[in-house]
Copies of this chain bind each other. A is one copy, B any other.
Amino acid sequence: MRPRKRGGGRSSWGIHPVSERAPARFEPAFDGFADRVRESFGRQGAMALIGAELVAVEPGYCAIALAPRPETSQQHGFLHAGILATLVDSAGGYAGYTLFPAGSSVLTVEYKLNLLAPAQGERIVAEGFVVKPGRTLAITRGEVHAEFGGARTLVAIMQQTLMVMHGKPDR
């Protein structure tokens, strides 16, 4: 399921919503790519702790959502930037993982996150997109939107480097 968009299909700023993009052009390395992501997600205690939900897994793409609660807030009542980072780091990581070979796992080498607006709303959706897959490294971009009353606001963008851990399955 892709996040809903407001009328006109426009994001609030200069990055285009997913629906305006061409369909993913990546081939997963093996059939079980989505199940592997779902099982890995299910083993993350931190995801359950913060109340995150895996909402989409496609080749080169992943979306994770969360309904903000008082326990996920910073001092002004918005979603804590670290929780937001947890979502988008994971969305980017799993987007990359969909393209990694069987028997491998995924490691975040680094990421950079710009926070654009307070993350407040009924639902926060973090999406990861593979920009360049590779044998050793994969590069992704991430976007986080806040949804409120049918509108979407872009609240953060990310750029991330992942490492393919060959021969080290996720469990």
Contacts and interface: CB of A to CB of B under 8 A. Distances in A.
Interface residues of A, number: 69
A48 interface: yes
Interface string A70-84: 111111100011110
A116 B109 CA distance: 7
A80 B46 contact: yes
A104 interface: no
Contact of A75 (B43, B50, B109, B116): B43
A131 B116 contact: yes
A interface majority secondary structure? mixed
B21 A25 contact: no
Contacts of A113: 110-113
A14 B25 contact: yes
B49 A26 contact: no
A63 interface: no
A107 to B, nearest CB: 8
Interface string A82-113: 11011101100000000000000101111111
Closest 6 A/B residue pairs (Cβ): A82-B86, A46-B80, A112-B112, A43-B75, A85-B85, A110-B114
